[in-house]
């Protein structure tokens, strides 16, 4: 179905308000358009944002910013989610998509989770015929970028 992705993002961000207050985190939303229509499975794409923002919030340093970008390029909508968190060691970057995989630093007792979030994210993006990538620097931060199908234009 077709829906406004930017609106969905604002809503998912709002659900993290309490955790953000506790860690003094802010969301910065960089939207090329006010409304960004996409064609996809609403609850599944909501799950993608929930899982990626849950990670961004969990692994962010206190008093930092999480930036979310959306922009349409042709028939795709490009999305970026960037945090200023602990980062992911190079040797782990290829494995984070596997079920139950967690890096050593994220196994600390305050970093709860079973290691399923990203495996679910990847399967949802792939099911929409799109891709997701991760670029990260240890101690600096992490960015996830992916695409979604833009709303199909009806020619008249
Ligand atoms: P779950 O999502 O099931 O609650 P999880 O968050 O540990 O558990 P994933 O979301 O699949 O699992 O992420 C896998 C691992 O990738 C994390 O444990 C962490 O080591 C690393 N990771 C994911 N996102 C980030 C991020 N934004 N910053 C730093 N490390 C990350
Ligand atoms: Mg997770």
Pairing status of strand 65-73 against strand 76-83: antiparallel
> What is the whole-number distance in angstroms between the Cα of residue 108 and the centre of ligand 2?
14
Residue 107 confidence (pLDDT): 67
Residue 114 confidence (pLDDT): 87
ipTM over 0.95: yes
Residue 99 has pLDDT above 90, yes or no: yes
Any ligand 1 atom below 6 A from CB of 89: no
Going by pLDDT thresholds of 50, 70 and 90, the confidence category of residue 111 is low
pTM summary value: 0.95
First to last CA, the chain: 20
DSSP string, 55-82: HHHHHBPTT-EEEEEEEEETTEEEEEEE
The protein residue with its alpha carbon nearest to ligand 1, atom 15, reads: 102
Q: Give the model confidence (pLDDT) of 62-81 as tens digits.
A: 999 999 999 999 999 999 99
> What is the whole-number distance in angstroms between the Cα of residue 154 and the centre of ligand 1?
39
């Amino acid at each position: 179905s077709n829906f406004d992705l930017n609106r969905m993002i604002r809503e998912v961000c709002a659900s993290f308000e309490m955790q953000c207050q506790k860690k003094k985190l802010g969301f910065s939303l960089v939207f090329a358009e006010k409304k960004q229509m996409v064609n996809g499975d609403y609850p599944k794409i909501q799950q993608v944002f929930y899982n990626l923002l849950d990670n961004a919030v969990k692994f962010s340093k206190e008093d930092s910013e999480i930036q979310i970008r959306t922009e349409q390029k042709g028939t795709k909508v490009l999305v970026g989610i960037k945090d200023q968190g602990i980062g992911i060691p190079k040797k782990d970057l290829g494995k984070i998509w596997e079920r139950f995989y967690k890096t050593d630093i994220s196994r600390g007792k305050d970093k709860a989770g079973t290691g399923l979030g990203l495996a679910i994210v990847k399967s949802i993006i792939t099911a929409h015929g799109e891709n997701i990538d991760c670029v990260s620097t240890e101690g600096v931060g992490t960015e996830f970028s992916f695409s979604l199908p833009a709303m199909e234009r009806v020619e008249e």
